[in-house]
Structure 1
Amino acid sequence: MYEFIKGTIEYVCPEYIVIENGGIGYQISTPNPFTFSPLFGQTTKIYTYQHVREDIIALYGFQLREERTLFKKLLGVSGIGPKGALAILAYGEPTQVIQAIENENEAFLIKFPGVGKKTARQMILDLKGKLQDIVPDYFPNLFNEGNIGNQENDTESLDEAILALKALGYSDKEIKKVSKELQQEKLTTDQYIKLALKKLMK
């Protein structure tokens, strides 16, 4: 098990990032890869979780240990795999997720891709009262929101955001519902994703 990897961010795409350490490029899936865009080319520490199945070995990465802890707890719920757990963390509002579990708010939880009523109920049964070590204060806005994209890059940023939403499991129909509103904004890819997720969860 890798505790963390410290290296240079070499590549960011809608599904993963690549961090170079000792001449090796590690492909790491993260909740929202574009949160790492401001760190491109810089030395960064990423807390990792290695997921092993018969057909795959994958690395998942997080900016904070507490974020990884929540990911692992979500994986412990029957019906939630790594992709579903990443989609929940990509929402960027762990406080609301934890409150939904504590308040048994199934209607909120089923808005995440791949989470139906049965899985939402299982999340509540398995995690209610067991998330005390996940302190919301550990999830600040890690990068300031002032990096507004310029006009010539808006279309590219929006396209990348849409690809990232698809990678998280959102359907074309769901994305289409919010795309018109997104087109009215001039944002970075990361900001488009965050805005889209907030609208999708309403």
Structure 2
Amino acid sequence: MIDYIKGVLVEVEPSHLVIETTNGIGYQIICANPYRFTGQKNKALTVVTYHYVREDFQRLYGFKHKQERSLFEKLLSVSGIGPKGALAVLAAGQTDQIVEAIEREDEALLTRFPGIGKKTARQIILDLKGKLEDFTTASLLQETPLATSKQENDQLADALEALKALGYVDKELNRVKKKLLGEDLETDEYIKRALALMLRT
């Protein structure tokens, strides 16, 4: 297993990063929210990875820390969840929120993630409840006041593209877009805000 990749971040795309290592190889690493790494572009960094191997393809998934990767692995162990679904659940970057939903048996919250229906949400709870002691639980994401300006910007557009790559549909994105138009945030912050809004609706 490839435990981590260390190199220079050369690209940040809606669905992945590209990290160039010292031997000149560029690794494409799929992430739940690649824009969390934007501030480190053209700098050296280390990304914790999970090497997903199947007969017909291989993918490298990246995470900010090992706890996030561990939760990704646990989600993959649930019947009916693949890497894309697991990433959609992790996209908010709040492992404690996900653990809290599982421990509370909050099916309604889990089904708000793309690709997670009632049956899969129930399976997540059945398979993982009581088995996440290593993860800390805390309060859910807090909303911040909305501004009044109505201008869209490149950061918001990038955030919506990243969410679309995770499986969110235009109807959901257009609804939160209206609420985010007045905010002046970085791309990763827009993603977190959009996810928080969608999880509360």
**Same fold per superposition (TM over 0.5):** yes
- CA distance in 2: counterparts of 1:27 and 1:136, whole angstroms: 31
- CA distance in 2: counterparts of 1:92 and 1:194, whole angstroms: 8
Moved over 2 A (4+): 134-137
Deviation of residue 159 (structure 1)?
1.1
Structure 2, unaligned runs of 5 or more: 139-148
What is the match of residue 176 of structure 2?
178
What is the match of residue 145 of structure 2?
none
- CA distance in 2: counterparts of 1:6 and 1:34, whole angstroms: 18
- CA distance in 1: counterparts of 2:180 and 2:63, whole angstroms: 26
1:189 and 2:190 are equivalent in the alignment: no
Deviation of residue 136 (structure 1)?
5.0
Q: Which residue type is aligned with residue 2 of structure 1? A: I
Q: Which residue type is aligned with residue 59 of structure 2? A: A
What is the match of residue 17 of structure 2?
17
- CA distance in 1: counterparts of 2:65 and 2:133, whole angstroms: 16
1:96 and 2:97 are equivalent in the alignment: yes
What is the match of residue 4 of structure 2?
4
- CA distance in 2: counterparts of 1:92 and 1:46, whole angstroms: 15
Q: Which residue type is aligned with residue 17 of structure 2? A: I
SS in 2 for 1:44: strand
Deviation of residue 134 (structure 1)?
2.2
Deviation of residue 154 (structure 1)?
5.8
Q: How does 1:1-202 map to 2 (within 5 A)?
A: 1-21=1-21, 22-136=23-137, 155-202=153-200
- CA distance in 2: counterparts of 1:135 and 1:61, whole angstroms: 21
SS in 2 for 1:126: helix
- CA distance in 2: counterparts of 1:27 and 1:113, whole angstroms: 23
- CA distance in 2: counterparts of 1:100 and 1:57, whole angstroms: 31
In structure 2, the CA distance between the partners of 1:136 and 1:24, relative to structure 1 (3 Å rule), is: farther
- CA distance in 2: counterparts of 1:165 and 1:124, whole angstroms: 24
C-alpha distance after superposition, 1:28-75 (max 9, x if no partner)? 001100000001111111111011122210000111111100000000
The percent of aligned pairs where both chains have the same amino acid is 53
Structure 1, unaligned runs of 5 or more: 138-150
Q: Is the Cα–Cα contact under 8 Å of residues 80 and 119 in structure 1 kept in the other structure?
A: yes
Q: Is the Cα–Cα contact under 8 Å of residues 100 and 137 in structure 2 kept in the other structure?
A: no
Q: Which region of structure 1 is more displaced relative to structure 2, 113-122 or 47-56?
A: 47-56
Q: Is the Cα–Cα contact under 8 Å of residues 154 and 188 in structure 1 kept in the other structure?
A: no
Deviation of residue 115 (structure 1)?
0.4
SS in 1 for 2:153: helix
TM-score, structure 2 as length reference: 0.90
Q: Is the Cα–Cα contact under 8 Å of residues 161 and 189 in structure 1 kept in the other structure?
A: yes
In structure 2, the CA distance between the partners of 1:136 and 1:17, relative to structure 1 (3 Å rule), is: farther
Q: Which residue type is aligned with residue 24 of structure 2? A: G
Deviation of residue 188 (structure 1)?
1.0
